[in-house]
Structure 1
Amino acid sequence: MRAGSRLRSTVLRESTTPQARTTPPWLRPVRLSPADLLRLGLVGIRSRRMRAALSAIGISIGIATMIVVTGIPASSQRALNAELTALGTDRLQAVADANASGGEGPVSFPAESVSMVDRIGAVEAVAAVANTHATVRRSDRLGPLDASGLTVLAARKDLLDVINAKVRSGQYFTAATERFPSVVLGAVAAARLGFPDLRPGEPPPLVLIGDQWFGVIGILRTVPLAPDIDRSVLVGWQAAHSKLGFDGRPTQLFIQADEPAVEDVRAVLPATVNPQSPSVVLVSRPSDALAAKRSAEATFSGLFVGLAGLALLVGGIGVANTMVISVLERRREIGLRRALGANRGQIRGQFLTESIALSCLGGIAGIGVGVLATMGYAAYKDWPPVIPLQAVTGGFCGAVLIGVMAGVYPAVRASRLSPTAALTTT
């Protein structure tokens, strides 16, 4: 009896120790790693490929719509901005106002005015021309009173870049040719002097400026930003100084500035160009196209936000609907997993992962379709293709967010199903 009592007390003590009360390893709940959770979430997609494809198509349409409605207007906007910029939205002109001098003679700017304007922070480029007050004739058989009525301007070699001018025939001044007695004609000047075009390989035609002959080396196209150039005969800056007695003082400046700062540059130009007499500096206003350009940007921005939000909403509703139906159809699967030991957190994780995976697959497909559609339409319209990076990254992040939001309710609903209720469902 004593031995039996001691045995029973020993077994009782051992069974009540912490080691004995610990759950056996094979009965402990297993935590799923992210890789296991991903594989489990993809089970439903692999087993129901057609439904998964339809669900992915639904979300991809929404994301593709967002890419298209942002990319196509952005491409159109860039093309429109290029056209408006060509009208001079970032250009200013400073002209010496002869009326401000009181009729005392020709007015010009200081020789260092170009370098002073170039030091303004928002100024990107500046070029100058100067009226030499010389006369130009086609032949020496014409008298001084038979001049063509064209203006002879000394021009710097960087003038064309600032005023968006193009050479129609021949060439413009280079560092070498601006020193020689050569001229470049504006479109109207070439027509008046009787030079429709220059033929390669032939000697350049000559014009008489003052009492010296100059060779015509180029003819410009029409310059919309500077109509005065069309009616001018351009002489190289150094050649005008050595051949025509030019004093190096410009009479007109062409300024290209950072577009948002055009008004600020315009305000400081008179005092910068001619600190001694700012009143003689007449600065042109920025083009009215600048206001139209900014209005178009604001309109396009509001359109982007509205259409993109609508596309994401439609895609999210489609994914949520698909996941709810998936839970209803897979009740037996959920009940079986619960009966085999899966806890509610694992059930939630499975369906939430499946929802996110569906949305990500649809998002990737939608981004590809949207990019291709945008580039194709832009090429058809001859626009520069623009794919906003914010739309691509926002589309993918939006797809992930949609997957989370659309999968929360179905995942919670699946986790609340009891094993017995799920398995007995007909």
Structure 2
Amino acid sequence: MNATKELARPGGAAPPRRPRPARMKPADVMRVGGSGLRSRPMRVFLSALGIAIGIAAMVGVVGISTSSTEDLNRRLAALGTNLLTVTPGQDFGGGTAHLPVESVRMIGDIPAVESVSALGKTDAKVYRNDYIPQQETGGLTVSAARTDLPESVGAEIVDGRWLNAANSRYPSVVLGPKAAAQLGVHRAGADVRVWLGGQWFTVVGLLAPNELIPSLDSAALVGWSAAERELDFDGYPTTIYTRARESAVEDVQAILGATASPENPSEANVSRPSDALAAKQATDDALSGLLLGLGGVALLVGGVGVANTMVISVLERRSEIGLRRSLGATRGQVRTQFLAEALLLSALGGLGGVLLGIGVTTGYAAYQGWPAVVPAWAMAGGVGATLVIGGLAGFYPAVRAARLPPTEALATT
């Protein structure tokens, strides 16, 4: 029978093969996917906006956190992480211990110590003039300061000069920025005086804000010998500031307490001011992690919006799908078309979100005075995340469109 059919055909030719469907090139896929998005601009915009908000939140949080870290690193590089402080703890009776008067000299004898200085707290109070009631102290402290203090703590003078061998023996004072503002002192000079310890002190200098030692901002600093003579200062240091070589900070920190107080090492507290800045940064990083999680939730919500848009698009374009299938389009081509639309929609939202996140980071960093830093991995990861979300959100609608029978689709027209 087969032989008879073969003889019945002209020349005994083989039966004609069904033509293979044309393959869609990447450019064709992009063009077909783009045309579907252009036909619904408002819906596409709203869906892309949902994706963009999630990506902008994630990129912004990472960028702001990175910018803050970069600012911290720069500040620490300028301030130095090699500053150590020694303060008196409690004695066995529960009272406040005293660091020996010789503790500054003994710490200075450590080979790895580059500089050492100290402050001594006094009971004196400082006022703008002698008409201010004594109970209105304003929380300002008065401390005796050594002349080499700026070298150790990195203090800077914005007006006037620091205490030196000449003026530190007389009633002279240097004010921190908060203390100066509270006392209404805006400049230093021989004619500018404050009422300190029951007598007039001349303001010889004003300090700049000190980030490592913020307590200096609210302090009035007088010379060591003047404090002993005029303010009944007992001469015991209450805070010793030590600069050690960067490579030996840990070693110096380990022996600093015993060196400052050889007889009672447990009564000396040793700390590192830069650790407080690092701890603050760790707190900021924890908050950034929370905000990053919220950005991820927003991204998932945006993905749901993409899925909703694509499902509605399939329902509205049933006749188009049926017509394409009738003209020879395969299920794979239809599936590719709708998947391409979902990916393009997500990519638009991702790119918009990255640009928005960069803008937010730049604006906030400029407001805070930070360097604006957005990691490349955050930008690439943001776009990559949107493509993954878009692919997952568009897969089901694309499969549903591909399985739609042509006759059923055309019957809905």
TM-score, normalised via structure 2 length: 0.60
Aligned residue number for residue 306 of structure 1: 293
Q: CA deviation at 1:327?
A: 0.8
Note if contact 1:63-1:367 (Cα within 8 Å) is conserved in structure 2.
yes
Note if contact 2:113-2:244 (Cα within 8 Å) is conserved in structure 1.
no
Aligned-partner residue type, residue 11 of structure 1: G
Q: CA deviation at 1:350?
A: 0.9
Query: CA, structure 1 residues 196+49, in 2 after alignment: closer, same or farther (shift >3 Å)?
Result: closer
Question: Does the alignment pair 1:268 with 2:245?
Answer: no
For residue 109 of structure 1, give the secondary structure of its aligned residue in structure 2. helix
Identify which of 53, 60, 67 aligns with 1:61. 53
Q: CA deviation at 1:404?
A: 0.5
Note if contact 1:170-1:198 (Cα within 8 Å) is conserved in structure 2.
yes
Aligned residue number for residue 347 of structure 1: 334
Q: CA deviation at 1:396?
A: 2.0
Query: CA, structure 1 residues 265+391, in 2 after alignment: closer, same or farther (shift >3 Å)?
Result: farther
In 1, the alpha carbon distance for the partners of 2:99 and 2:22 equals: 98
In 1, the alpha carbon distance for the partners of 2:101 and 2:66 equals: 52
In 1, the alpha carbon distance for the partners of 2:330 and 2:347 equals: 26
Query: CA, structure 1 residues 309+278, in 2 after alignment: closer, same or farther (shift >3 Å)?
Result: same
In 1, the alpha carbon distance for the partners of 2:151 and 2:351 equals: 48
Identify which of 82, 87, 109 aligns with 2:106. 109
Question: Does the alignment pair 1:315 with 2:302?
Answer: yes
Q: CA deviation at 1:338?
A: 1.6
Query: CA, structure 1 residues 331+344, in 2 after alignment: closer, same or farther (shift >3 Å)?
Result: same
In 1, the alpha carbon distance for the partners of 2:387 and 2:47 equals: 14
Aligned residue number for residue 324 of structure 2: 337
Identify which of 37, 40, 43 aligns with 2:32. 40
Note if contact 1:41-1:351 (Cα within 8 Å) is conserved in structure 2.
yes
Instruction: In structure 2, list runs of 5 or more residues that go unmatched.
Output: 1-6, 92-97, 120-141, 191-202, 226-238
Q: CA deviation at 1:397?
A: 2.0
For residue 284 of structure 1, give the secondary structure of its aligned residue in structure 2. strand
Instruction: In structure 1, list runs of 5 or more residues that go unmatched.
Output: 1-6, 119-126, 132-148, 203-215, 236-250
Aligned residue number for residue 159 of structure 1: 152
**Cα deviation per residue 1:279-325 (whole Å; 9 max; x = unaligned)?**
49944335695697367336404422431122012101111000001
Query: CA, structure 1 residues 230+323, in 2 after alignment: closer, same or farther (shift >3 Å)?
Result: same
Aligned-partner residue type, residue 33 of structure 1: K
Aligned residue number for residue 245 of structure 1: none
For residue 186 of structure 1, give the secondary structure of its aligned residue in structure 2. strand
Aligned residue number for residue 406 of structure 2: 419
Query: CA, structure 1 residues 356+272, in 2 after alignment: closer, same or farther (shift >3 Å)?
Result: farther
Question: Does the alignment pair 1:170 with 2:160?
Answer: yes
Note if contact 1:335-1:420 (Cα within 8 Å) is conserved in structure 2.
yes
In 1, the alpha carbon distance for the partners of 2:345 and 2:406 equals: 26
In 2, the alpha carbon distance for the partners of 1:41 and 1:81 equals: 47
Identify which of 234, 238, 242 aligns with 1:254. 242
**Cα deviation per residue 1:52-107 (whole Å; 9 max; x = unaligned)?**
2233233223333444566678889999999999xx9985314799x9xx999834
Query: CA, structure 1 residues 341+255, in 2 after alignment: closer, same or farther (shift >3 Å)?
Result: farther
**Cα deviation per residue 1:169-210 (whole Å; 9 max; x = unaligned)?**
23569xxxx9x978796339x99xxx99545xx9xxxxxxxx
In 2, the alpha carbon distance for the partners of 1:225 and 1:324 equals: 62
Question: Does the alignment pair 1:359 with 2:346?
Answer: yes
Query: CA, structure 1 residues 45+220, in 2 after alignment: closer, same or farther (shift >3 Å)?
Result: closer
Note if contact 2:50-2:305 (Cα within 8 Å) is conserved in structure 1.
yes
In 1, the alpha carbon distance for the partners of 2:99 and 2:253 equals: 26
In 1, the alpha carbon distance for the partners of 2:60 and 2:100 equals: 63
In 2, the alpha carbon distance for the partners of 1:365 and 1:104 equals: 64
Question: Does the alignment pair 1:231 with 2:236?
Answer: no
In 2, the alpha carbon distance for the partners of 1:417 and 1:39 equals: 22
Aligned-partner residue type, residue 129 of structure 1: S
Q: CA deviation at 1:44?
A: 0.5
Question: Does the alignment pair 1:395 with 2:382?
Answer: yes
In 1, the alpha carbon distance for the partners of 2:57 and 2:219 equals: 48
Equivalent residue runs for 1:204-243 within 5 Å: 219-220=206-207, 224-225=214-215, 230-233=220-223
Q: CA deviation at 1:227?
A: 8.5
Query: CA, structure 1 residues 182+396, in 2 after alignment: closer, same or farther (shift >3 Å)?
Result: farther
For residue 24 of structure 2, give the secondary structure of its aligned residue in structure 1. coil
Aligned-partner residue type, residue 116 of structure 2: A
**Cα deviation per residue 1:324-375 (whole Å; 9 max; x = unaligned)?**
0111111121122222222211111111111010111122223333443455
What root-mean-square deviation, in Å, do the aligned CA atoms of Structure 1 and Structure 2 show?
A: 5.5
Question: Does the alignment pair 1:52 with 2:52?
Answer: no
For residue 231 of structure 1, give the secondary structure of its aligned residue in structure 2. strand
In 1, the alpha carbon distance for the partners of 2:100 and 2:48 equals: 80
In 2, the alpha carbon distance for the partners of 1:196 and 1:49 equals: 60
Paired-residue identity, %: 40
**Aligned pairs, number:** 336
Note if contact 1:77-1:297 (Cα within 8 Å) is conserved in structure 2.
no
In 1, the alpha carbon distance for the partners of 2:283 and 2:347 equals: 34
Query: CA, structure 1 residues 82+171, in 2 after alignment: closer, same or farther (shift >3 Å)?
Result: same
In 2, the alpha carbon distance for the partners of 1:227 and 1:48 equals: 61
Query: CA, structure 1 residues 335+110, in 2 after alignment: closer, same or farther (shift >3 Å)?
Result: same
Aligned-partner residue type, residue 55 of structure 1: S
In 2, the alpha carbon distance for the partners of 1:150 and 1:72 equals: 39
Q: CA deviation at 1:398?
A: 1.9
Note if contact 1:186-1:233 (Cα within 8 Å) is conserved in structure 2.
no
Equivalent residue runs for 1:173-192 within 5 Å: 186-187=174-175
Query: CA, structure 1 residues 307+219, in 2 after alignment: closer, same or farther (shift >3 Å)?
Result: closer
TM-score, normalised via structure 1 length: 0.59
